[in-house]
Amino acid sequence: MYRHGNAENPAAPEVIFQFPTADTGNMSSISRSLTTALFFILTIIGGPNKLCAWEQTGTASWYGGIFQGRQTANGETYDTYGYTCAHKTLPFGTILEVINLDNKLSVRVRVNDRGPFVDDRIIDLTYAAAKDLDMIRDGTADVRIFAVDGMIPEVLFNIQIGAWSDLDNALTHRIRLADAGLNPKAELGSDGITRISILNVPEADVFPLANLLGSLDYSDLFIYQVR
């Protein structure tokens, strides 16, 4: 069995959304865009860091072979004999129950990779997990997956507000953001570009913070999930 899609997918931050340059006065448009972009990762929260209900139905596949020993998207070493999986959006560390809808066999796996890279597939399993579901021969199976209650980490995002080649200009923006009550971090890259970001933003704070930044005329935001 082989993995579909980009076999060299790097272990890089998952880009969730990048705001287009737009009229910063049109905040309703920005909110709608962000709502659409985050649709697949928003979950029903019933308390701090606790998932109450999340499930998905679709096609599962499995991968192994040449991927054994390679680095997964979260930096671990892939072990096809372990019980892990690749999912497109769920936070790393999420524990999923996977049920084969044809034979009712089930297995629990932990998200540590990204994929599958085929549109109609929702999860990539290790050989061990696929064997427990009796789907090795067919290669795919119709499954239902759901997050085990209380076993999903808090989702955090970084919001890059802007990037400037002029250091003094970047620091001026940092001071302006700090005066607005925010806690921006400035990072000077090896390319000479200074990037200003707000780090580790909880999921529930992404919308309000994006709207606040828009009101301050920062509309070209780069938002990505870090956990």
CA separation for the pair 90, 123 (Å, rounded):
11
Domains of the chain and any CATH numbers: 14-41+155-225 (3.30.70.1070), 49-147 (2.40.40.10)
Number of helical (H) and strand (E) elements in the chain, helices listed first: 4, 13
Amino acid in the structure at residue 81: Y
- Shortest CA distance to 115 belongs to which of 10, 38, 227, 202? 10
| DSSP conformation letters of 198-211 | EEEEEHHHHHHHHH
To 10 degrees, the CA torsion angle through 27, 33, 39, 41?
-80
Question: Phi/psi of residue 31, each to 5°?
Answer: -65, -40
What is the bridge-based pairing of β-strands 140-147 and 95-100? antiparallel
What is residue 23's predicted lDDT score, i.e. its pLDDT?
Answer: 43
What tens-digit pLDDT sequence spans the chain (227 residues)? 333 333 333 334 444 444 443 343 444 444 444 443 443 334 333 333 443 457 899 999 999 889 999 999 988 999 999 999 999 988 888 899 999 999 999 999 999 999 998 888 999 999 999 999 999 999 999 999 998 866 666 778 899 999 999 999 999 999 999 999 999 999 999 999 999 999 999 888 998 999 999 999 998 899 887 76
What is residue 152's predicted lDDT score, i.e. its pLDDT?
Answer: 65
CA separation for the pair 140, 121 (Å, rounded):
9
